[in-house]
Amino acid sequence: GGVGKTRLARQAADNLGAQFRDGKAFVALAAVLDFDDVVTTIAGTLGIQLGGQTDAATALVHGLRDREMLLVLDNLE
């Protein structure tokens, strides 16, 4: 830890984000402890509504399906 991986990832995203139709998004996951929270954190960061008839992971996939973006997931261990 502490060698600058997050800073490097952010810089790479800044450099490459314009190549994607919908830009870039950075999702910090350091405080997330279980899978359901990973899904809701990503959805919340991207403004994707979860709910309805499907489970959260499926709803997230549907929300991302038509997007062309660089998605950086930091601390997804």
CB 17 within 8 A of CB 70: yes
Give CA–CA dist 48/64, Å, rounded.
8
pLDDT at 76: 85
One pLDDT digit (tens) per residue for the chain, 77 residues: 788 899 999 999 999 999 999 999 999 999 998 887 999 999 999 999 998 778 999 999 999 999 999 999 999 87
Q: Rounded to an integer, what distance in angstroms lies between the CA atom of residue 61 and that of residue 50?
A: 10
Which pLDDT belongs to residue 60? 94
